[in-house]
Chains A and B, each alone.
Chain A
């Protein structure tokens, strides 16, 4: 039965990974063992149980946010000698070095220099570990998005959230294990759309469940108008009775039990999921803290609150995209970096800071890893050609921070060069980034594998180093 049951091919990889063969041997049907989302033991003791990735979509400018580069001001207006004009996206709009239009000031005990666009998040620097030396391989949104999400530039590979859910299952039986939220302000999906939360070659059950920004967030969650709860319950009871007879006749077919079980789970999801997403139940104090009624950040407040409620209920991995597609629709400040980053920081600063505060006060921050970061950074040069100076893509350097979930607070790892052009000291590859996150979740990135098309695949391919330096 094994190779077909429940997971087909996928279950094989999973079972060998988790040494569960015993569970699926012949014998009366062990329905839960076939549930691909059943919680599983990690490789070693995890520091974090769940992840909230605040995806700063479009390529946030590290030098205008968290990576203070005073030398840039000194060289303002000068040309960057030897610059390869094909580094960014627009080879014909390369300007001179440009200092940050934002003021930086020291924040927290650690005195971390933070851009003025983050008055709220700046309060939390002592909880954050900054990685200033991230670098990617593509200067183009979607390949870079695929890279930071799946480790590969091409479509078709499982993303981090899928690997994590595959490795650990979900603590929640009534909610999806991996949830993705995108921009609800009609600015589109991140470039490459659903491929960014794809399970690739992993079984489809591990792909991110995308909450539709308008209308019903999850498909088929609402019962047909004609059925009330009582009548639907009667349907389920009938199905359990008939299915149960079938199972009695075929007691060894584990999938039969799994399917009956799946209907009960679906029934519970109908109430559990709307409840989990109903942020209007939060007390006014909390709503206020997130900025749920502030015009410019209400949407992110709602999403951050939903994220908290989801991890509280055992959801493993939540990803929230700030911003939609390219240019003015996300942090992609090609034309007017000042206006763009002021706007998007304004949309996110208060809710994201509130999320950290809220998780902390509930004792959830210890077990919830919060990540802030996008697909690449931006160039220290100005991009000309727009009405106002902007900045073009920079795959050579970007900043990410993490907080909670076993992260050492108030530290910075790696450095960009003095102009913030390239990662220079202790460079951190995307593989390192992924390896570190898996490690915090108790997963060994070299042992989390899946056999597909003739070889064992890993999220980190053949590389990846856990950044112990930022782990508490």
Chain B
């Protein structure tokens, strides 16, 4: 009775349907038809026989009268061509699940609507049904509202939309027009751009403004290109420089500044919805995401061709896997928000949401297309069938966000390692040569006269035949028999060691945790010095019988070298507890020290003919607390003294046994080598050479690996909350989903691209590339996408160029040629200057996709350089300045505003790159704010910082009181003012005011402003002095500076 599954219904249409198309009808949308029809009542309606009879009556009534009625009067709006208000009565299933049917005629909302007892009256805006027809429906509902079959046979999916030739004729999908800059008045124009602009202005009966003055120009250029104001001396020098090309030189200088990349990277961060946390309820941080931001800065500064910029963001890991920058670029795809706390119900939906984020952001950022609208149905406006959406989603089907270690300078690391290895080889060779030359003879003599073990040490250091990390850490055996871990640092791990031993009376086991210079705090734990061994498990089996069931070893007592942990008393006999199950868990103070734990076996172990010991050390408790370097030893005594760093290698002991039994000729090669090494320690000359080898070991270069967050395939996935309940992170096969609903899967979607951006009959396969031979980790689907999206002849390259050209125009001039920079579809604005747009796009493509050339082109134009002077007459003709008759002043974005404040106050810290910070009082440029989705920097939010959930092509620009409160009252505002006041040290009276104007506004004050300043300073000084403050004039000057920095002249690009 209760298994009706409620499905995710809001999703069915929550992205795209425009309100106005669907207004009317039954204004209800609750639950979509569930998978199986179901009586929705808690109590059955009477006995079985009676029920059957009523059913038959109802069915008859349906076939005879109800169906024709519904077909004629209701179906067209509710389940036929459309389902207005989400109400669909085409099948019993959908009707029942609408909740509108009701248990009886009396409680039926459907009936109330057609009886016009409730609104909206149905059929909507049409004559009421005849009373007799209403009675028929009422009776049918009383009989349980049965259907013999649905009113219509719905195909699994609607007829697939086909992209037509006409669709490809839409302006943004067309090939680039061969536009030439029109000839005309040359007196105003400076660049080809201007000739396009001027023609349009003339057509509209408008004329452009003359050039702005030089002070305005240099400020405009600085703020636009760098997001920083010019230094007053720079302003003066530029104003004085009357040489031809002075302005062009300025632009070139700005474009080659390292701060250029910081400004333009931030623009792209908006577009790429980049942030450094997961968002949603936990909002876990992504500490290595900042590499993507650094990639952007470097790419813009180096003038990376835009097509490569795009290709690397989509598939840098496939296209240039050895280039760190290309790996960093892939941060783009994985930068979206993601809910880490997911219930089983939500797994698949969440993954499809993630794919949607990638498809959607790729679409808006690179192609200016709202592809995401096609998730639930064919795009309502643009020729993007749902099929194409899922093909694109399938391109990302296996793509995951992950973190990898990478070496930022692999060549240098390799060279250093080669040099070290050469040095080391020499030292080892010297020792070997000494052994050969000086020890061979004494060693043989020693062997001949060997009589028992010349050592009292109770511990035998195991020599492992196999050693493995379960989670892929690299293990390496060192000369002293210890095992060193490196490489992959899994959160949790388990090491398995195997050793074959001859001893027949093993009574105790020792675990040593040893330090090593390759670990933080020297270990012995791998990441923070600390380690926690959750448990130790050991088995033994006869070496001679590989099929024998290994015996589980039980340990009855344990003690450690930790002074804080004295000998644990052995558990009472027969308690059955295996103390090794409790592992070894030293405290945090264990970092940086060699230490050991010993375990006593319940019974001695050891088989005739040898024993295979398998020992597992488990690190399954604290994150990244596995042991860095460890050594295992056995002893024939149950409680031998617990020493650290002692022990005789097991092969030595066994070698001696052999010698004792069979003489030296019976030694195996490893045994002989072990004995030689053992013997050599008694020789001073050898020890000296060995010390040279040992002391050279710590000099072994450790490559400075950096963690970086990338987006790729086939890598391990960083753990998050939902690993525990089995979240798979991705699904092998992407399906087309009906209405975006994961429970309504249709055919599999194979990788492909948008049909409208291919020639008619084009096949996505023609852009496919195969992975190079031997490459298996990734599918190269994204590399194929990169090919298509940058293909200017047959793929999406032309649109790609139009969109980026427009974005640059938008950021420079405040309004794009297309005023909707992320929507080049039918719902977006058409271009105000289509020929200019195409000319710029062609110019970009023809000149190797270099953006700096484009910046220069725009900034040196007369359009860019004109003044902001307002003209009521021109405004009447073009209030929004679409045709660019003037420069439109605009407020600085949050970053440029804050960075300007830091600059003029002399507080700016120009450190580039690396992890960001969240504190509002950080002094680096704002692009280095750590972007935490649930905790966005308040001062930035005040000035319209985006939330970084979806790509934003243009920010709003608000003027609100909390901004004023920031300038008036925030500690930062005061600090900026103090900083500016400090810069006026040494300037007195009027000269201080003038200097403040020069620094803040790049100009000098006029007499009126000077007078206002003097009056104010005088007043504030007296006010402070009256309180007996010795720093009254400094405080007054600070108050003054604070006022200057809150004024529009400081905050606007004019």
Contacts and interface: CB of A to CB of B under 8 A. Distances in A.
Interface string A441-458: 000001001000111101
Interface string B475-487: 0000000000000
A25 B1043 CA distance: 30
B965 A82 contact: no
B826 to A, nearest CB: 8
Contact of B891 (A156, A201, A242, A255): A255
A191 interface: yes
Interface stretch (B25-33, B327-335, B647-655): B25-33
B281 A262 contact: no
B890 A422 contact: no
A430 B9 CA distance: 11
Nearest to A209: B962
B2 A463 contact: no
Interface string A74-90: 00000011111010010
B370 A453 contact: yes
Interface string A225-257: 011001110111011011101100011110110
A425 interface: yes
Given A26-B875, A152-B10, A461-B14, A4 B938 contact: no
Given A395-B6, A461-B10, A263 B28 contact: no
A421 B438 CA distance: 89
A137 B938 CA distance: 32
Contacts of B1035: 226
Nearest to B1049: A246
Interface stretch (B186-194, B567-575, B908-916, B966-974): B966-974
A306 interface: no
Contacts of B22: 462
Contacts of B1024: 231
B1047 A239 contact: yes
Contacts of A224: 969, 971, 974
A102 to B, nearest CB: 22
Interface string A380-415: 000000000000000110000000000000000000
A234 B942 CA distance: 25
A446 B109 contact: no
A350 to B, nearest CB: 31
B373 interface: yes
B345 A1 contact: no
Contacts of B1012: 238, 241-242
B1048 A153 contact: no
Interface string B1015-1054: 0100110011000000000010001101110111101100
A472 interface: no
Interface extent on B, as a size class? 35 or more
Contact of B19 (A80, A395, A446): A446
A461 B13 contact: yes
B31 A427 contact: yes
Contacts of B960: 36-37, 205, 262
Contact of B346 (A1, A140, A265, A422): A140
Given A255-B959, A455-B827, A8 B888 contact: no
Max chain B CB contacts within 10 Å: which of A151, A194, A221, A419?
A: A194
A191 to B, nearest CB: 4
Given A253-B870, A266-B964, A142 B280 contact: yes
B343 A86 contact: yes
A192 B343 contact: no
A454 B1046 contact: no
A418 interface: yes
A8 B954 contact: yes
A266 B965 contact: yes
Contacts of A395: 6
B120 to A, nearest CB: 8
A48 B580 CA distance: 70
Interface stretch (B151-159, B196-204, B229-237, B817-825): B817-825
A466 B28 CA distance: 9
B20 A456 contact: yes
B995 interface: no
Contact of A83 (B2, B29, B876): B2
A446 B23 contact: yes
B1016 A463 contact: no
Interface string B948-970: 01100011111111111111111
Given A454-B373, A468-B119, A262 B961 contact: yes
Interface string B924-955: 00000000011100100110110101100011
A214 interface: no
A461 B373 CA distance: 13
A234 to B, nearest CB: 6
B996 to A, nearest CB: 12
Contacts of B11: 137, 153
A456 to B, nearest CB: 5
Contacts of A267: 964, 968
Contacts of B825: 454
Contact of A263 (B814, B819, B968): B968
A222 interface: yes
Nearest to A458: B19
A6 B4 contact: no
B970 A250 contact: no
A250 B280 contact: no
B815 interface: yes
A219 B28 contact: no
Interface string B113-140: 0000011000000000000000000000
Given A220-B970, A262-B963, A238 B42 contact: no
Interface of A: 1-4, 6-10, 25-26, 34, 36-37, 80-84, 86, 89, 91, 135, 137-143, 147, 151-156, 176, 191-195, 198, 200-201, 203-205, 219-224, 226-227, 230-232, 234-236, 238-239, 241-243, 245-246, 250-253, 255-256, 258-259, 262-263, 265-267, 269-270, 395-396, 417-419, 421-427, 429-432, 435, 446, 449, 453-456, 458, 461-466, 468-469
- Rank and list the top 5 A-B pairs by shortest CB-CB distance, nearest first: A463-B29, A266-B964, A156-B949, A8-B956, A82-B3
Given A83-B3, A198-B947, A463-B30, 5 more contacts: A4-B814, A7-B957, A140-B341, A155-B933, A425-B99
